Amino acid sequence: MKRIIIAIVVVFVSSCSSTKQCSKEKESRLDTSYMYLVNNYDKQLDVFSTSKEFDIVNFVSKISEDTGENEGELIESLEQKNIEDKSLDNISILKYLPKNINNNSDLKVFFSLQYEDYIIAEVFRKSIDKGNTYKELTTFGSSDVFLFKFKEDKVIKTYQIIMDYN
């Protein structure tokens, strides 16, 4: 009986430890993605407070060019990655990012949940003519969409596309 209790405690403690490690990895990846965008645009960005769901399949042609993989097989593979990791669902993205985010920036970024080793960020120029919600920005708008591929906490590849909404 003692051995069973000890085994349960060991499994529980190791489970908690790995969950904290996964959470730390996701925090680091969001921070790394944000800092990449800050360097890319040479300014701080206003960050939408919660995660958005994006379709990773939009990057098929870019990834196919890079890897030489067949687009059909790649779509199937990426659709599997689109099954999102719910551990960051409905959380405040802001708590994982630096405190010096500029809410007055003319750029607004929306981050995805993490899909395995991928994070997507979509950047819009704010408009004086319309509001700055995702729905308003996508109405006849345009954005830069980034796909960050990670290995551990390091970005190993970045893909970028321009998304035009009609």
Q: With bands split at pLDDT 50, 70 and 90, how would you rate the model's confidence at 21? A: very low
The span from the CA of 20 to the CA of 166, in Å, is 42
Provide the pLDDT for residue 23. Answer: 53
pTM for this structure?
0.75
Tokens found for residue 91: 């959380």
* Better-scored residue on pLDDT, 146 or 101: 146
Provide the pLDDT for residue 161. Answer: 94
* Better-scored residue on pLDDT, 8 or 75: 75
Question: Cβ distance 149 to 161 under 8 Å?
Answer: no
Summarize pLDDT for 25-54 with one digit per residue, the tens: 666 888 899 899 999 999 988 888 777 878
Whether pLDDT at 10 is above 60: no
Query: How much is the mean pLDDT over the chain?
Result: 76
| The amino acid at 89 | D
The span from the CA of 56 to the CA of 155, in Å, is 16
Angle among Cα 151, 155, 157 to the nearest 5 degrees reads 100
Residues in a beta bridge with 157 = 149
| The amino acid at 47 | V
Summarize pLDDT for 74-97 with one digit per residue, the tens: 888 777 655 544 444 545 666 666
The span from the CA of 66 to the CA of 60, in Å, is 10
Give the ranges where the chain is alpha helix by DSSP (H): 2-41, 60-67, 71-81, 134-138
The span from the CA of 98 to the CA of 152, in Å, is 20
Kind and range of the H or E run holding 109: strand 107-111
* Better-scored residue on pLDDT, 145 or 87: 145
